Structure 1
Amino acid sequence: MPVDLSLYLVTDATPAILKGRDLCEVVESALEGGVTVVQYRDKFNDTGVQIEIARKLHQITKKFNVPLLINDRVDVALAIGAEGVHLGQDDMLFEQAKRLLPKDAIIGISASTIEEAQKAVADGADYLGIGTMFATATKTNTKNVIGTAGTQAILDAIKDSGVGTVSIGGINHSNVQRVIYQSQSAKKGLDGVAIVSAIIAADDPKASAEKFVELIKNPPRFALTSNSPRVNEAEALLNDVPKIVRKMVEVHPLVHNMINSVVMNFVANVALSIGASPIMSPYGDEATDLCNFDGSLLINMGTLTSESVSNYLKAMAAYNLRGNPVVYDPVGAAATKIRRNAVNQLMAGGYFDLIKGNEGEIRQVWGSNAVQQRGVDSGPSTLDGNQKATLARDLARRERNIVLLTGATDYLSDGERVIAVKNGHPYLGQVTGTGCAIGTISGCFLAAHRSDRLLAVLSGILMYEIAAENAASKEYVRGPGSFVPAFLDELYAIRTAAAKGDDSWFVGRAKVHEVKL
């Protein structure tokens, strides 16, 4: 039978979650709010008590024409005539449950790996409960926290099946839209989400369910439609770059920098030189006010402290909620265990419009354990140009965002288009903060031009790197020390020219081509 999996409620009767209330009353309230499936999960009570509770729940769910599924206990499902069961990997085998249950019974299977999902589909499961999405206190025996990336891998592996899918684990009002949005990068998206404590533990389960229904129906504010590649994509993009630079100068965007202390002064001067308004604040609670200026947020984890990640997460939540751009620069991502853990926390904690980093950093964000950084340096490259372009594309496709892999040649992708940029000068690699400043520059342009994020970031890169080339060509520039003030002057010169409608700084200067993969 067809099942609406969009808002799937899993019960939990532990005291800390239920707070002394009657489970049946909580479930009825949630159904009034729009829950579409109820799973009765009870790992503590004996069989007789489970049958009694399940029978009461079934009387309630039938009033709302919503199926009741029993977790694990096929005998309980049979005893009360429930619509089906949900089986974990350690529960009764699918074949056995199929033989015992009525022909039209719904059977769902938990899956945390591709192999488990493919077997469940082959067996004939009606839907999969995919997870655990995020770490959660309501289920302590999770085999694996797979996140959005692991969920997408499973969805891709079963894309040709008609089986339903829900994601479970740590999903709440703050992340449900991102979970659904990022799952849609796979050819087969999620059909719904399974919620436990965010409804069961809510003071008002009906209101919580209603909010989930509204969030599920609508895309997040940061969601944008992808731009399809054109025949001459690089040429088409370049035609618009001067216009986007001019727009950024006119908008005078604010960029909230949560940036490492080593480069703070230099980066602020870069932002001022191009006509943006920088604020340097590591304090996450300030983001609630700062995001109202509709600027962008840069998270640069160059100088981590024990409080950094919690502040980053607070700020990211505020900017995501408003739909403002967030840029992530995972400085030294693979250098230490602490940094690797920070990457995992931040990638699970919110949405980034742009992830910018060198080869080692981007590989760590992707999930490669084969790279070891020394400090913030990328280290020796092990990838050729096509492999770098593929990495940037695949990460952008997975995260449904923009990825910039920096190096002698920069690779920029939105998951479909991949653009290689060969502008810049070696002096940029000899001055502390020039790499970090690209994150701030990108944030400025993303705030000014939201409709095509790849074009926005490309425009910022070209303004920045052409200014570096101009500065290095000055007769009085003899090395990094004299390069820095000349570089700031050249950024300001391009800004001034752009404000006057003078595009001569750009004509014939871009070293850009589209990478066909």
Structure 2
Amino acid sequence: MSKQIDYSLYLVTWRELLPPGKDFYESLEESLQGGVTIVQIREKATETREFVKIAAKSKAICDKYNVPLIINDRVDVALAVNASGVHVGQTDMPVDVVKRLLPIGSIVGVSCNNLDHVKVAVNDGVDYIGIGSVWSTKTKSLTSPLVGVRGVGVLLDALEGTEIKAVAIGGIKSTNLLRTLYGAVSQRGHILDGVAVVSDIVASRNPQNAAANLSAIIHKFKAQKHIVPAMISTPLTSEGVLKQVLDIFVAIKKTNPLIHQITNTVVSTQSANITLALGASPIMATSAKEMQDLSKIPGALLVNIGTLVDDTKEGMLASGLYANLARKPVVLDPVGVGASQYRKDTINELLDTWQVSVIKGNAGELAALSGTSEVESKGVDSVGDGFRDPISFVRNLARKERCVVALTGKVDYVSDGKLVIALHNGHEMLGRITGSGCMVGSCIASFCAGQASLPHDDEIITRGFANQYMLCAAVGGITVLNVAAEMAVASGNVHGTGTFLSALIDTLFQLSPEDITGHASIRICT
């Protein structure tokens, strides 16, 4: 029966959240008019007689719109009102008993918080699972750890080869819905069948509009097929990537996009000057109170955790959320993430809070982020020669994090989870100055902003998600700085690290499309 059910917008009722003066049944009908596709009545503290009354009236309303009604936990109530099915938690009635008591063809769903729960649900033959909590929520006391957006994909993997549907639940609302849908995807491309929403609809004074807004986001997401990275109209070649880089380079000079940078205070000046040299406009703002206003200005966001403190962390969390809402590209530089547990925890919190467009880091940083011990780090530096198979590493990490990943080193590797591009430019002097990696982050953010300013048929570019447009932007940001480094040293004006930094900024400022074409070494990896 689950094959015929639309789980896309799953309303879970919670009468205590109703606005003052708002009738429950009025709210329910308005939500159905707005696009709710399935309803679960949840009444944990209600006496049986009252529960049956509420369920019966709710079913009559749902029947008007041909929407299935699910009862939370109570099989007896479901039977009393001829509901479509029952949803149970891990401590409620066992699934096999529920299925034995309900009529054949009834819907049975179960809450799952970890992989073991999912495996049991698959073995029990449920129709759908509710995965959560994905976000923190005030509507339910959490007895299990948060799954997080990035954790949903692991559970979805266990559904491969089954017909069991999956719905995410817990703190989902219009402001994080797109992040949830895009980030909650398995490595094999298994996506959610729907999302369960509580307060965003029930607590609204206009539940029809609230439901319609959520429904529109869901349908737009599914229509644009964000399951795999978006393709540029023609397959990418090295020449095609270079053309994209040159187009973005010119666009930056023309549009002067704002690059909001929450960055390493040690190199804030160099990062700002590098941004200016490219033709973009830097602003170094860290207060959470400014983030909503700054997100309204076209451009991109760079978050660099080099000098991480609690105050800037709050700004980082807020900035990414508002950038996502504004569909602005977000670049994350996990500087020194392997140096402390605090940094690791912060990066995980950031990545679970907002959708990143590009993650840029050296081998030690990306190894720590991915959880592999193949490459060690010392502070902000890598130890050893890097990954045995960097091509597979960046591709897999990009798939896992649903973004473009840029691995910097003697050879730079960039991937969107499908393609991998190797970049062979650069000079050893970059490794002898403080903050060269941070400057690469500024350049990538500038190119992401420049790319977003170009006209594109595919609306996904304005959403800052992983795709070949962002892939080319990351390639461009790395390439121009590396080419400028080569040309600066070749100019004869470099006599040490001090003169190199000045020459690097001057060369980047004077760089022309012809310089990039003549020096860029871009290779598509097979």
Alignment-derived partner of residue 405 in structure 1: 407
Cα gap change, 1:364 to 1:230, in 2 (>3 Å): farther
Residue 278 (1) aligns with residue 279 (2)? no
Would the aligned equivalents of 1:12 and 1:18 in 2 still touch at CA under 8 Å? no
CA offsets 1:222-244 (integer angstroms, 9 cap, x no match):
97962279877334423543343
Would the aligned equivalents of 2:17 and 2:202 in 1 still touch at CA under 8 Å? no
CA distance in 1, matches of 2:516, 2:393: 32
Residue 488 (1) aligns with residue 505 (2)? yes
- Which stretch of the first structure deviates more once superposed, 193-202 or 182-191? 182-191
CA distance in 1, matches of 2:496, 2:393: 33
CA distance in 1, matches of 2:395, 2:18: 42
Report deviation, 1:63: 2.6
- Which stretch of the first structure deviates more once superposed, 314-323 or 285-294? 285-294
Cα gap change, 1:321 to 1:457, in 2 (>3 Å): same
| Structure 2: gaps (5+ residues) | 453-460, 462-468
2:216 to 214, 217, 236: 214
Report deviation, 1:336: 2.4
Q: Give the share of equivalent positions with the same residue, in percent.
A: 39
CA distance in 2, matches of 1:326, 1:512: 24
Would the aligned equivalents of 2:19 and 2:205 in 1 still touch at CA under 8 Å? no
CA distance in 2, matches of 1:19, 1:302: 47
Alignment-derived partner of residue 357 in structure 1: 361
Alignment-derived partner of residue 515 in structure 1: 525
Structure 1 residues 103-502: aligned runs within 5 Å: 103-183=104-184, 186-219=188-221, 226-227=230-231, 233-367=237-371, 373-380=377-384, 383-384=387-388, 386=389, 388-450=390-452, 452-494=469-511, 497-498=512-513
CA distance in 2, matches of 1:22, 1:361: 53
Structure 1 residues 7-22: aligned runs within 5 Å: 7-13=9-15, 15=16, 22=23
| Structure 1: gaps (5+ residues) | none
CA distance in 1, matches of 2:52, 2:384: 63
Give the root-mean-square deviation of aligned CA atoms.
2.8
Report deviation, 1:153: 2.1
CA offsets 1:217-271 (integer angstroms, 9 cap, x no match):
2239997962279877334423543343333333332211121221111111111
Partner SS state of residue 138, structure 1? coil
CA distance in 1, matches of 2:243, 2:279: 22
CA distance in 1, matches of 2:360, 2:205: 40
Report deviation, 1:446: 1.1
Q: Which amino acid aligns with 1:244?
A: I
Would the aligned equivalents of 1:334 and 1:371 in 2 still touch at CA under 8 Å? no
Q: Which amino acid aligns with 1:206?
A: Q
Would the aligned equivalents of 1:155 and 1:187 in 2 still touch at CA under 8 Å? no
Report deviation, 1:374: 4.0
* TM-score, with length taken from structure 2: 0.88
Report deviation, 1:288: 3.4
Report deviation, 1:211: 1.6
Report deviation, 1:438: 1.0
Cα gap change, 1:382 to 1:492, in 2 (>3 Å): closer
Would the aligned equivalents of 2:363 and 2:375 in 1 still touch at CA under 8 Å? no
CA distance in 2, matches of 1:233, 1:154: 36
- Which stretch of the first structure deviates more once superposed, 105-114 or 188-197? 105-114
CA distance in 2, matches of 1:398, 1:476: 44
Q: Which amino acid aligns with 1:102?
A: P
CA distance in 2, matches of 1:232, 1:281: 36
Q: Which amino acid aligns with 2:66?
A: N
CA distance in 2, matches of 1:22, 1:30: 12
Report deviation, 1:485: 0.8
Would the aligned equivalents of 2:183 and 2:401 in 1 still touch at CA under 8 Å? yes
Partner SS state of residue 299, structure 1? strand
Would the aligned equivalents of 1:159 and 1:187 in 2 still touch at CA under 8 Å? no
